[in-house]
Amino acid sequence: MKHECCAPNCEYDLAVIGAGSAGFSAAITAAEGGVRVALIGHGTIGGTCVNVGCVPSKTMIRAAEAVFSAQSAHRFPGLRGEAQVSDWAALIAAKEDLVASLRQKKYANLLPGYHGVTYIDEGPARLVLGGVEVGGRKIKVSKVIVATGGRSAVPDVAGISEVPTLDSTALLELKALPESLIFLGGGYIGVELAQMMARLGTRVTIVCRSRLLPRAEPEVSEALAKALRAEGISVVEKVTYDAARLDGSRTVVTVTVNGAARDLAADHLVLSTGRIPNTDGLGLKEMGVETDQRGAIIVGDDMATTRSGVYAAGDVTDRDQFVYMAAYGAKLAARNAVLGGKECYDNAAMPWVVFCDPQIAGVGLTEAQAYAAGYDVKTSVLPLENVPRALAARNTTGLIKLVADRANDRLLGGVIMAQEGADSIQTLSLALKFGMTTKALGETIFPYLTTVEGFKLAAQTFDKDVAKLSCCAG
């Protein structure tokens, strides 16, 4: 296949800026198609997920679940368990070992196997006419994919720059387990890490401007707040962030709740108010690459930017901020940029997961989104107490909600809040992908005493009271 940059003065066919999940996905896809790729490092190889995001947080969350599982064994008559953090340093070291191992195995060690990929780690890269500038030299190339990821955002709060704060990365690198923490923000990062730290023995307060998981269904937000409070976590919702200051060695945050000012104090303040794209210094404006109000690169369905020949993927864009969607978008970008592809980004059946406990996972449209899209909406909400698996586990905290089109009974979306919700959501994702109706889902055979069976029961709830059915009778 002939590429645009096959002339002698071009060193590569494609330059990929960023060596995280999106960058590697783009580079591997292009290399497998016979393309010469310059993979330009941006930060630590492996990017956010393996180094400071998914991998370290999820292993720590599992550790916290182990502690909590032992402590909550008393929900079964005749059982009692105890567990606590006995060596914080050892726990953190194990997390670091896992990160280092996966970074080596799934990123650094892969490069020698792709002879078409040249890894360049010579400092920050910048888009210039005719290619990319990095390390004081210009790489001539006609096609570029920007995949530089994102970083934690700092909210606009008076005094915030004058007090020491932690982001999700610094939190997981603390030398000692803190006695108390305030989490500013109740999105998925704040919820996951706040519950994790509370289960490991820290007093935790979450404050948020609206509600927990504001983009999720309101029934889920309400149930989650109740569950976290039951574990001893203070959840303060619908607040205004007024100011932050130091009081000795402690951080004090002043918020307004129901019109009244309130001071909250803790050992550390954790910023979990979202993430912003890494676009500084890339020369985007000079090259005509448009960004949105957050600074994220605007891309079309083909992952192309407003500059011809420049594509982007992952957290640096205005698309979905999930590692698997970053890899997916980068694959499309590579195919469209240098392999003659004409593929379009499709997230209609994209599942998402919040790794709190109970886990929360969803796919498709929420009820509000479905109404906004003009559908004649119908919904069903099934409390987990109607799911035999939850009864057997003596843990009925949670629910399942399905959203459907009343006109044709087609499923539009849904969410599950359950202990095994993360591993169940793909069933609903496939149901949406293939246009399933609630009737068809309700008539599908599911194995008994599984969490995923709850989707069948929730589908049946549109037409009947499942509490009046015997086991497996539906």
Cβ neighbours for 154, distance < 8 A, ≥ 6 positions apart: 160, 161, 165, 271, 273
As a whole number of angstroms, the distance between CA 312 and CA 298 comes to: 8
- 187 labelled ligand-binding: yes
As a whole number of angstroms, the distance between CA 185 and CA 191 comes to: 8
- 58 labelled ligand-binding: yes
49 alpha-carbon distance from chain centroid? 9
Residue 60: enclosing H or E segment and its boundaries?
helix 54-71
As a whole number of angstroms, the distance between CA 474 and CA 419 comes to: 23
- 186 labelled ligand-binding: yes
φ/ψ bin of 134: left (φ > 0), alpha (ψ from -120 to 50), beta (otherwise): beta
Cβ neighbours for 359, distance < 8 A, ≥ 6 positions apart: 353, 416, 417, 418, 419, 420, 421, 422
- 401 labelled ligand-binding: no
- 248 labelled ligand-binding: no
As a whole number of angstroms, the distance between CA 54 and CA 57 comes to: 5
- 78 labelled ligand-binding: no
Pairing state of beta strands 234-236 and 310-312? unpaired
Residues 181 and 205 sit within 8 Å (Cβ to Cβ): yes
Length of the chain, please?
Answer: 474
Q: What is the 3-state secondary structure (H, E, C) of 291-347?
A: ECCCCCECCCCCCECCCCCEEECHHHECCCCCHHHHHHHHHHHHHHHHCCCCCCCCC
- 288 labelled ligand-binding: no
- 131 labelled ligand-binding: no
- 315 labelled ligand-binding: yes
- 190 labelled ligand-binding: yes
Amino acid letter, residue 430:
L
Nearest CA to 92 out of 167, 161, 176 is that of 176
- 185 labelled ligand-binding: yes
Encoded tokens for 424:
């169940």
257 alpha-carbon distance from chain centroid? 28
Q: In angstroms, what CA-CA distances link 186 with 38, 163, 261, 270, 473?
A: 39, 20, 19, 11, 40
Q: Which residue shows structure tokens 């985007």?
A: 284
Residue 152: enclosing H or E segment and its boundaries?
strand 150-152
- Is residue 470 helix, strand or coil? coil
Binding positions for NAD(+) are 185-192, 274
Binding positions for FAD are 58, 315
Binding positions are 58, 185-192, 274, 315
